[in-house]
Amino acid sequence: MEWWLFPLIGYLVGSIPFSYLIPKWLKGIDIRKIGSGNVGATNAIRTTGPAIGGLCLLLDALKGFFPVFLTGIVSEDPKIISLTAIFTVLGHDFPVFMRFKGGKGVASTLGIIFYLAWPVGLVFTSVWILIVSFTRYASLGSLVGLYISALLGFFFRGYDTGMLILILAVLSTLRHSENIRRLLNGTERKVSLFKR
């Protein structure tokens, strides 16, 4: 296979808008029109509850995991794997099926982290749950979890893994620019993980 097919497949898989499709199919809700309007798992949790939102999060994570997993089976080239990972997240952020208006890439990045180093993925998940449970700020939990994951990636898996997670963390940070401003202003939207 030509190397560029892997990032292309990653982008197309990443573009599948589970956080739009699942609430639409199960609840008849268009999450683009309620909550934050963001097509991501956090808005799905906020607007449809933890069960449906959790399903969206799982599917968004799996669509991050499988393209890089399959790429790793076919090619051991870390550059191709990294490009596939980045384009998969870009697909989630700017999905071709949703007029390039997508989510913020956290769940799909989490799936990639589980592929790269599953213990780091567990740390991210624990940090995210802990921070969101106490503060109810999903954006804060996501950003802290991503940068801790990048640090652990460098420490436990070396430069390539750490740098890839760091690039994905920076990409997500850019997508969270409005959330960061609201966090600083004390106006960020809150989310409950355990109740509707």
Each residue's pLDDT tens digit, 67-76: 999 999 999 8
What is d(CA 83, CA 170) in angstroms, rounded to the nearest whole number? 15
Query: For residue 193, what pLDDT is reported?
Result: 75
| pTM over 0.85, yes/no | yes
Query: Tens digit of pLDDT for each residue in 6-48?
Result: 999 999 999 999 999 999 999 899 999 988 888 888 889 888 8
Query: Tens digit of pLDDT for each residue in 158-188?
Result: 999 999 999 999 999 999 999 999 999 999 9
Query: For residue 81, what pLDDT is reported?
Result: 96
Query: Tens digit of pLDDT for each residue in 123-141?
Result: 999 999 999 999 999 999 9
Q: What is the mean pLDDT of residues 102-110?
A: 95
Q: Does position 196 have pLDDT exceeding 60, yes or no? A: no
Q: What is the DSSP string of 66-109?
A: HHHHHHHHH---HHHHHHHHHHHHHHHHS-GGGTT----SHHHH
Q: Does position 195 have pLDDT exceeding 80, yes or no? A: no
Q: What band does 105 get if pLDDT is binned at 50, 70 and 90?
A: very high
